Amino acid sequence: MIDAISPLHSTQLSVAAFLKQSEPWRKSVLGAFCFSADAVENQMQADTNIPCMHVAMQRLDAGDSVCEVWHGSGQLTQGQSGAIHYCHDEDVLLGVIELPEAMFTADTDKTPLQQATESAYRQIFALLETLRYLYLFRCWNYMADINAHSFGLERYRQFNLGRQDAFLAHGRDVMGNVPAACALGFGQTGSVQGPPTTLTIAFLAGRVASHNIENPRQISAYQYPQQYGPRSPTFSRASLVRIGQNEVLFISGTASIVGHETLHPDNVVAQTRETIANIKAVLDEANRQSCLASQPKFDLASLYYTVYVRRPADLAQIRAELAHCVGDALTAVYLQADMCREDLLLEIEATAVHPWMHMPAQRD
Ligand code: 3EB
């Protein structure tokens, strides 16, 4: 029997293009992460049964939407567990969970967002334990009004409380062996009259451990000092996973932070440069850990970037600086979003997929 090869990889296209794809193409889709200011993507979930995340963020560079579509291989199995929609192949499970904060009340010592976060991560870990995809290697976290304060604490910090409590409740490490992640905010809907707010989390997990990578220019986020909140954020700077014949590098949301401090609070070009220096440092670490030293290395040109921009007016400058540093091969999508610190003007995440073995598949 030929070993199952799982070429986990992603493609990017508009919602309209996604819906026009043929059945055979859709058969390899594990899930789709869609960003657009309106809600057409609900149609995708209904039409296709594929786990779809929809985040209300405006695309700034082109078109009006983008879907990051993750593909698996072989037989795919879709399912639902509590609020999670998931799909897996032999090696990888992709899940999406959306929890309205209104499901939780503020009558305990935990805020609704904190409870929603803890519940979401508890559901994720329970599913991963049941289906035995024990290694969580990448999480995408989206919440409304990430910088707003309620119950005496910034909402991002409430999120960090709930996230860490869920990790602890499931006996997971909260330092070192933690997933790559991003955490972004959308909208200004926190007022009482605003539309209901929904915590949205997507994740990828697998059956073999990932290598977690830290950035020597930065203090690990899980060791940030107390001034950034009562609980530190539970994520690593990147994770490297070998799946089938591919090695996949997930670089977490990266910003203009050195040590633990924000640099260049008022200078978007300098923040962009500092962020790229951080990504470069993470790449250097990844190349030292990559399984085959002789293989082509990860470099800035081989990454697919998602760039979160706080102020749409900064787009041109950020884009020019990134193009300058990365070169003609730059592949990036730009979204309007809020970062988890008020003084951060952008955050960049990136992914690369490398074949790690150029030989034909091994046989049993
Ligand atoms: C930082 O380096 C910027 O809380 O999951 C980046 C990536 C950031 C992930 C998270 C937060 C998270 O601290 C913010």
Helix (H, G, I), strand (E, B) or coil at 84: strand
Q: Work out the burial of residue 225: count CB atoms within 10 Å of its CB; fewer than 13 is exposed, 13-18 middle, 19 or more buried.
A: exposed
Q: Cβ(283) to ligand 1 under 6 A? A: no
For each of the chain's 364 residues, which pLDDT tens digit applies?
333 445 788 989 888 888 888 888 889 999 999 999 876 555 666 666 899 999 999 999 988 889 999 999 999 999 999 999 999 999 999 999 999 999 999 877 999 999 999 999 999 999 999 999 999 999 999 999 999 999 999 999 999 999 999 999 999 999 999 999 999 999 864 445 555 689 999 999 999 999 999 999 999 999 999 999 999 999 999 999 998 888 999 999 999 999 999 999 999 999 999 999 999 999 999 998 876 555 678 999 999 999 999 999 999 999 999 999 999 899 999 999 999 999 999 999 999 998 776 544 444 4
Is residue 236 a contact partner of residue 212, using CB atoms and an 8 Å limit? yes
Q: What does the pLDDT read at residue 126?
A: 98
| Residue 296 C-alpha from the chain's centroid | 25
For residue 50, how far is its CA from the centre of ligand 1 (angstroms)? Answer: 28
Q: What does the pLDDT read at residue 15?
A: 81
Rama region for 187: left / alpha / beta (φ>0; ψ in -120 to 50; rest): left
For residue 359, how far is its CA from the centre of ligand 1 (angstroms)? Answer: 37
Is residue 162 a contact partner of residue 221, using CB atoms and an 8 Å limit? no
Cα distance between residue 150 and residue 197, in whole Å: 14
Looking up tokens 């220019």 gives 217
Q: Cβ(112) to ligand 1 under 6 A? A: no
Number of residues written out for the chain? 364
Q: What is the dihedral of CA 107, 108, 112, 116, to 10 degrees?
A: -140
- In words, the CATH class of domain 214-364 is alpha beta
Q: Give nearest CA residue, ligand 1 atom 9.
A: 182
Q: Cβ(164) to ligand 1 under 6 A? A: no
Q: What does the pLDDT read at residue 189?
A: 47
**116 token code pair:** 């929603």
Looking up tokens 């999508």 gives 333
Query: Whole-structure pTM over 0.75, yes or no?
Result: yes
Beta bridge partners of 94: 87, 204
For residue 208, how far is its CA from the centre of ligand 1 (angstroms)? Answer: 24
